[in-house]
């Protein structure tokens, strides 16, 4: 059952074939970091959103976290009470299943970065949905071609890599496999525009473009820490103060999660054989010790419960 369903004021996208097709309601599966951030921002931007969980309680828990964030924004004067009420009315919750996908225009999976999990979810979507559903994967690194093939979504699935936190990061990386329908890409770009993001289209490959660039820098910084070249803080300072990066490669690795960085590095290294992406022993050892970054409270830096560096 869909909770809080409203009549949708549907955003539309020109597809280049003389038709306009909607980009919302937008269904988002996975009330984790990416799913919650995207659902919050999409509702604030005026899109109808269905936040899906493995069951009703799971989805409701995610909605509760979004409401907590909205109330905090109202208290700090960042969001008006009127805008909060309007965004809240656009956010629905539901259990992932055929009923939850009924009438939606776009689907974004935001489940954990595991190819088997993502392929299983997307295969369900392929069975339950009509062929004109816009299907998007929120992965930042897994090849879309393989996911599409495993799910039976060849030509219909694109990568839609949003950056965290979604409300503050003004870009989305759209990874396009060879043979993808032009209308699918155009609708993905239109959704990015509706979210207020600059769409950067890249060819599908392991790691896309953004993750490969950031990961190569992060892994090299880890090798330099292991070799005693400089401290993590000093290496990060070279990139923030010398090159104007908002965060250094090691702080960014902590924020992303060193366990996720390790999985992505292993995946790209396995797919390409490029030694640049071979995970250094330091990274493997830290993950084995549970020092996985911000969420663990310790990685290359120490972090408090509010996500601040100590």
Check if the beta carbon of residue 176 is closer than 8 Å to that of residue 185: yes
Q: What value does the mean pLDDT take over residues 151-156?
A: 95
pLDDT on residue 109: 97
Domains of the chain: 12-203 (3.40.50.720), 210-296 (1.10.1040.10)
The packing angle between helices 144-151 and 115-128, to 10°, is: 50
- In whole angstroms, what is the distance from residue 9 CA to residue 48 CA? 7
pLDDT on residue 13: 57
pLDDT on residue 147: 96
Check if the beta carbon of residue 265 is closer than 8 Å to that of residue 283: yes
Token pair in block for residue 153 = 């979504």
Average pLDDT, whole number, for the chain?
92
Q: What would the pLDDT profile of 39-50 be if each residue is shown by its tens digit?
A: 999 999 999 999
- In whole angstroms, what is the distance from residue 203 CA to residue 222 CA? 28
- The residue behind tokens 């369900």 is 124
């Amino acid at each position: 059952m869909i909770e809080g369903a409203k009549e949708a004021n549907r955003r539309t996208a020109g597809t280049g074939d003389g038709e306009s097709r909607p980009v919302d309601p937008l269904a988002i599966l996975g009330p984790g970091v990416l799913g919650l951030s995207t659902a919050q921002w999409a509702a604030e931007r005026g899109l109808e959103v269905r936040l899906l969980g493995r069951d009703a309680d799971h989805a409701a828990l995610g909605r509760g976290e979004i409401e907590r964030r909205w109330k905090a924004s109202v208290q700090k004067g960042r969001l008006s009470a009127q805008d909060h009420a309007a965004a809240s009315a656009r956010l629905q919750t539901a259990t992932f299943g055929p009923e939850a996908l009924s009438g939606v225009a776009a689907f974004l999976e935001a489940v954990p970065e595991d190819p088997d999990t993502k392929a299983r979810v997307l295969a369900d979507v392929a069975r339950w949905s009509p062929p004109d559903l816009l299907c998007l994967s929120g992965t930042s690194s897994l090849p879309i071609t393989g996911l599409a093939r495993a799910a039976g979504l060849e030509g219909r699935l694109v990568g839609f890599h949003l950056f965290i936190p979604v409300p503050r990061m003004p870009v989305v990386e759209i990874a396009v496999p060879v043979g993808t329908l032009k209308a699918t890409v155009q609708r993905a770009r239109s959704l990015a525009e509706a979210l207020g993001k600059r769409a950067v289209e890249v060819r599908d490959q392991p790691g896309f473009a953004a993750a490969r660039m950031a990961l190569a820098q992060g892994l090299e910084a880890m090798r330099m820490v292991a070799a005693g070249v400089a401290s993590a803080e000093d290496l990060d300072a070279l990139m923030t103060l010398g090159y104007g990066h908002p965060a250094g490669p090691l702080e960014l690795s902590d924020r992303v999660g060193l366990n996720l960085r390790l999985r992505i590095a292993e995946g790209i290294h396995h797919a390409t054989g490029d030694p640049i992406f071979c995970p250094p022993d330091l990274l493997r050892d830290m993950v084995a010790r549970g020092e996985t970054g911000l969420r663990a409270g310790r990685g290359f830096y120490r972090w408090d419960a509010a996500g601040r560096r100590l």
